[in-house]
Each structure stands twice: as C-alpha cells, then as structure tokens.
Structure 1
Amino acid sequence: MASASYKSAIFFSFVLLFILSISMAESRAVSSGIGTNSALICSKIYGANIGDTCFSIMQQFSMTPEAFTTFNPNLNCDKMFVGEWICLDGSSI
C-alpha cells in the first residue's frame, strides 16, 4: 500500500501538470496573435456632443464607414455618449 506522502506527491504532480498545461495553452493563444493586429495611434480625435450619431460624425468629417469602423473598432454606435472620444484619423504601428 502506498504511503500518504507518496499519494500527496502524485496528487501534487497532477496539479502541477494541469497548471502548466493551462499556462502553455494561454501563452500559445497570446503569442499567435502577435503581429496580426497592429496598434492604432489616433492623430485626430473628436469628443461626441449631444445629438451626435456615428452617421452624423462620418458626414461631418467626410469619412467612409470603413474608415470610421477601422479607427473605432470597439465603438458601439447605439450607446455612444456625450464626451466619448472618436478617432477620426490615425496610423498603425
């Protein structure tokens, strides 16, 4: 019959193996994204005012919908608020 210390050593080994497996999987997921998405540096920013909509901002600054969504990928046009920063122009690094 196995001793208690032997059983705890096996249990600890399984726990360590599990943690290392998760750690390696997460590092692969993070490293696979490197280089695929470049960071955006905004060179022109606008603060939303009362009554602004995504469409009105696109019209006001002569932006295409494609450019607007490229510069503002996480903007929710249905929940835009006064003072929200809208990127109007920029470049990727």
Structure 2
Amino acid sequence: MAKITSHKYTVFFNLVSILFFVLMVTRVESGKLFLCLQDVQVNKGDICYAIAQQYGLTLDTFYSYNPNVNCDDLSIGQYLCVDGVWVDF
C-alpha cells in the first residue's frame, strides 16, 4: 500500500512554490519590490503606445512597469504589465 503524504506537507510545498513563482515575476530594486497587479496579452497589431494609452499610462510609466520590453519587437501572446505597485521591504 502506498504511503499517503501528510496534507500539511502538501500545503507547505504548494505555498513555497507559489511564493517562488511570485518572486520570479517581480523586480527588486534598492529595498523595494515591484508587484504587477494587472497584465495584458499582446495581440496582433498591438503597439506599446496604444496599450499605454488604453490603460491611461504615460509611456514613462509603461516602461517603468515593463523595463525589459522591446517595443519594436512585441510578440503575440507576450504579457505586459499595465498596473503595479512598488512595495517597501
């Protein structure tokens, strides 16, 4: 008969996995952690300027949310952050 793993260990493992994922998709800069609160998926024909305008963002804010984005080479299906917060830690 197979041994059943404790529910507590399963919950702990899942929480650690979720925390690891969250930390992977956030940025840390000088004591601050950036959390993206809303993202959008790039569709055919989308450009950064139009996405920023659609969500009421200036281009500077859009770029601060997406520092590694190459607006000349967006990929269909790529996710871009359109709302986020910096959290002190």
1:65 aligns with: 59
The yes-or-no answer on 1:47 pairing with 2:41 is yes
Change (3 A) 1:48 1:36: same
Gapped regions of structure 2 (runs ≥ 5): 1-27
Gapped regions of structure 1 (runs ≥ 5): 1-33
State the superposition RMSD in angstroms: 1.8
Shift of 1:39: 2.8
The yes-or-no answer on 1:76 pairing with 2:70 is yes
Shift of 1:38: 2.9
Task: Count residues in correspondence.
Answer: 60
Shift of 1:41: 0.7
**Structure with bigger gyration radius:** 1
TM-score with structure 2 setting the length: 0.60
| Structure 1 segments (4+ residues) deviating >6 Å | none
Task: Say which SS state the counterpart of residue 64 (structure 2) adopts.
Answer: helix
Relative to total residues, which structure has the larger strand share, 1 or 2? 2
